[in-house]
Amino acid sequence: MNLPQDRADFVVVSNRLPVDRTDDDDDPWRHSPGGLVTALEPVMRAADGAWVGWPGRAGLDLPPFTFDGMSLVPVRLSEDDIAEYYEGFSNDTIWPLYHDVIAAPTYHRAWWDAYVKVNRRFAEATADVAAHGATVWVQDYQLQLVPRLLRELRPDVLIGYFHHIPFPAYGIYSQLPWRRQVIDGLLGADVIGFQRVADAGNFARAVRRLFGYETKAGSITVPEGDGVRRAVAKAYPISIDGAQYEELARRPEIQARAREIRESLGNPRAILLGVDRLDYTKGIRHRLKAYGELLDEGRLDSEDVTLIQVASPSRERVAAYMQLRDEIELMVGRINGDFDTVGHSAVRYLHHSYPRDEMVALYLAADVMLVTALRDGMNLVAKEYVASRIDGRGALVLSEFAGAADELTQAVRVNPHDIEGVKDAIVAAVEMSDAEQRRRMRALRRRVRVNDVAGWSRRFLADLEAMRGSR
């Protein structure tokens, strides 16, 4: 194959680029939302590769460009693509299905057709920028067909795929009318990575049930041409750049900002914090219900505590998200109506996203971090809180349904569906002694240090490179 010299040896492909286009010509780019971009940005900065993705706006046709030291290759999505491939199939079919049908998935044949079409567009854009024998790393559920499509276009490249969200049990997965095509798409990769061991197990079971291929200890025998090849399906729990959060947490101006936040809230005895995209998987309603009842029952004194809930806007044109926003804002309004005084707020609800500096100040200001997801691939917010607590203080309440619970075993563990249990966990966290906070935080911080995002990508890419020989 004769390819020009300026193609990349390492290519990341994800639905979103790390930056979204804004309306502001003076400040045209802002950080994209979500854990995927947070995790991959430091990896991309360290590698000299290209990042293929959507620039976050309809109809934008941009040539490749460099931003903040990264080479970005934009893929155009039209209004219809956004409605059918992104909001439709990705976020109203796959997202609810893979999060254990917390919301009902919608199955539309036209959305599937759009998903196939856009996945092909991403595969073609990737095939155009990848150098001969390049390593290509495809990311997440929006692009599950890209590994197979890319392998057909470019059999010379090494293909990894990482799935950032849960992979459901077969009894749920089997609802998908296109269940065979999606598994076949993923099996185009040499290594298929998941957040948890349970996700990799669910995937292997789906492969056996639908195709009858042999799967053994994370290795899958896939027919190819007249012969067979091997694909790996394994867990690689994702993480964060912990050192970066520590560094921010040490900055005097960020510590001053944390003190200012506490003061502005009247220096309450306890500040509780929730930080989520406004998504029904995050258990925000369950959290508010538990908190409201604790205030009602007087187990928490409304003069003494404040809950800061950052709910960053997300997928705002999808009906389930609009409804969730209404429900949450109604609940917040009720709690505040009942418990606010002129000088004090029971819930500080912030429907915004904030830059990393402000997030670290919030983490430092919060005595208790609440992560009550009903289902979550990993939840990097839990890890960001731990990494920011250089003072060794603070308590983390963590749902057992978040992938992070497999690693962060020293958190106060909750089943978010058990409202009484969540209430007890919140009270235990608020009342936790200083010594107990330090003991738990020490162990939590050790875990985040041992598995940081650089280690995550190193482990994945080492397994991927090892496949070169066996292709």
Residues near ligand G6P (CB under 6 A) are 16, 33-36, 91, 140, 164-165, 314-315
In angstroms, give the least distance from the CB of 278 to ligand G6P: 11
Please tell me the distance from the alpha carbon of residue 170 to that of residue 157, in angstroms, as a whole number: 31
Q: Which is nearer to ligand G6P, 91 or 388 (CB)?
A: 91
Give the chain's length. Answer: 471
Rounded Cα–Cα distance for residues 278 and 244 (Å): 25
Instruction: Kindly list the strands in the beta sheet with 347-350, ordered across the sheet, starting from the edge strand earlier in the chain.
Output: 347-350, 305-312, 270-277, 368-371, 395-399, 412-414
SS3 sequence of the chain: CCCCCCCEEEEEEEEECCEEECCCCCCCEEECCCHHHHHHHHHHHHCCCEEEEECCCCCCCCCCEEECCEEEEECCCCHHHHHHHHHHHHHHHHHHHHCCCCCCCCCCHHHHHHHHHHHHHHHHHHHHHEEEEEEEEEECHHHCCHHHHHHHHCCCCEEEEECCCCCCCHHHHCCCCCHHHHHHHHCCCCEEEECCHHHHHHHHHHHHHHHCCCEECCEEEEEECCEEEEEEEEECCCCCCHHHHHHHHHCHHHHHHHHHHHHHCCCCCEEEEEEEECCHHHCHHHHHHHHHHHHHCCCCCCCCEEEEEEEECCCCCCHHHHHHHHHHHHHHHHHHHHHCECCECCEEEECCCCCHHHHHHHHHHCCEEEECCCCECCCHHHHHHHHHCCCCCCEEEEECCEHHHHCCCCCEEECCCCHHHHHHHHHHHHHCCHHHHHHHHHHHHHHHHHCCHHHHHHHHHHHHHHCHHHC
Q: Cβ–Cβ contacts within 10 Å for residue 451, how many?
A: 19
Find the shortest distance in angstroms from Cβ 242 to ligand G6P: 19
To ligand G6P, the closest distance from the beta carbon of 297 in angstroms equals 35
Residue nearest to ligand G6P (CB): 34
Smaller CB separation from ligand G6P, 262 or 325 = 325
* 164 or 286: CB nearest ligand G6P: 164
In this complex, which beta carbon is closest to ligand G6P, that of residue 154 or of residue 315?
A: 315
CB of residue 225 to ligand G6P, shortest distance in Å: 33
Cβ proximity to ligand G6P: between 291 and 460 the closer is: 460
CB of 310 to ligand G6P, least distance (A): 15
Nearer to ligand G6P, 144 or 451 (CB): 144
Task: State the nearest-atom distance from the C-beta of 386 to ligand G6P, in Å.
Answer: 19
Quote the least distance from Cβ 56 to ligand G6P, whole Å.
8
- Pick 35 or 49: Cβ nearer ligand G6P: 35
CB of 367 to ligand G6P, least distance (A): 26
Closest approach of ligand G6P to the CB of residue 143, in Å: 9
How far lies 25's CA from each of 29, 120, 271, in Å?
9, 32, 38
Cα-based distances in Å from 156 to 132, 151, 190, 254, 471: 6, 8, 12, 48, 10
- Considering the complex, state which of residue 165 and residue 426 has its C-beta at the smaller distance from ligand G6P: 165
Residue nearer to ligand G6P on the CB measure, 215 or 353? 353
224 or 406: CB nearest ligand G6P: 406
Residue whose CB is less far from ligand G6P, 36 or 183: 36
C-beta separation of 122 from 75 below 8 A: yes
Nearest distance from C-beta of residue 37 to ligand G6P, angstroms = 6
Residue 345 CB, shortest distance to ligand G6P, in Å, is: 28
Report the nearest approach of ligand G6P to the CB of residue 346 (Å): 29
Compare residues 100 and 424 and give the one whose CB is closer to ligand G6P.
100
What sign for the dihedral angle of Cα 120, 145, 100, 239? negative
